[in-house]
Amino acid sequence: MVNLPPSSTRIIPDTASIPRHIAIIMDGNGRWAKQRFLPRVAGHQRGVEALREVVKACRELGVKYLTVFAFSSENWRRPAEEVTFLMSLFMKMLEREAVKLHENNIRLKIIGDRSRFDDKLNQTMREAEQLTANNSALTLTVAANYGGRWDVMQAVSAMLRDHPHLAQTFTEEDLQSYLSMSDAPEPDLFIRTGGEQRISNFMLWQLAYTELYFTGTLWPAFDRNELDKAIAWYQQRERRFGRTSEQLEAQQSAGRGNA
Ligand code: IPE
Ligand code: IPE
Ligand code: MG
């Protein structure tokens, strides 16, 4: 496993630089379509194009991890035909994009409960992950049938299966390696498009100290310029992780970023 700090709350990242990890809730596809008198699924289709542009921009900017919410564990509640469309769009995207991601040295990872996906989709997901497994420019993680609570629960179960003695007492570090995003630093910047100001069961554990950016822009309209705006906003934040501003200033003038 890559030896990254388990928690970004220990090390203060330099906000002047590009965020290492950006997590996005790509929301507003349905409303984007509705505004244009199109079916909701047309919004999902355009959403894939927006994702393509954001992946390219992150790769160019030097973002190391991009994690996007594609389908939540709650999205099964949608009309059956929309769910079916989203599954086939996901399948097509994997088939079409895996090679392009590979050519661009991008690693693709999928997180979430795969047990509800059919065998063919599971196989396509595995193949895309295997093809890109050794790429290093950017890790694109797609959260599909993912829920933050599911993630914590599956991590606890897996940890106790491996180490039954931990049932009495365990630490955050014990749990850490069983969480879906264990090989990535926690997100520095979270973006939610579409105007809602909620987490909707996205990375509950990992977002503990992430800077949260909300924009009314609907996902299909989110482009490079919108991403630049979000990053510029992030770069104005002061990340304190519980400390005071004065402590941070003292550390900076002493030439030490971390404590
Ligand atoms: C997000 O867009 C995409 C998915 C949840 C798959 P929505 O489909 O939620 O779009 P709105 O929120 O209805 O506009
Ligand atoms: C969150 O969007 C999930 C994804 C973007 C995949 P939703 O549109 O499903 O969120 P809620 O239900 O409005 O909170
Ligand atoms: Mg929505």
What pTM does this model have?
Answer: 0.93
Q: Between 253 and 60, whose confidence is greater?
A: 60
- Active-site residue, from 14, 75, 183, 188: 75
The 10s digit of each residue's pLDDT in 152-199 is 999 999 999 999 999 999 999 999 999 999 999 999 999 999 999 999
pLDDT of residue 139: 98
Question: Alpha helices of 169-254 — where are they, by DSSP H?
Answer: 172-176, 224-234, 245-253
Cα of 46 vs centre of ligand 1, distance in Å, is 12
Write the CB contacts of 227 (distance below 8 Å, at least 6 apart in sequence).
54, 57, 58, 191
Instruction: Specify whether 105 is catalytic.
Output: no
pLDDT of residue 159: 97
Q: Quick check: CB of 201 below 6 Å from ligand 1?
A: no
Q: Quick check: CB of 30 below 6 Å from ligand 1?
A: yes
Mutating to test ligand 1, I would choose from 24, 26, 29 the residue with most ligand atoms within 8 A of its C-beta, which is 29
Give 3's DSSP letter. -
Instruction: Specify whether 258 is catalytic.
Output: no
pLDDT of residue 166: 92
- Of the pLDDT bands very low, low, confident and very high (cuts 50, 70, 90), residue 228 is very high
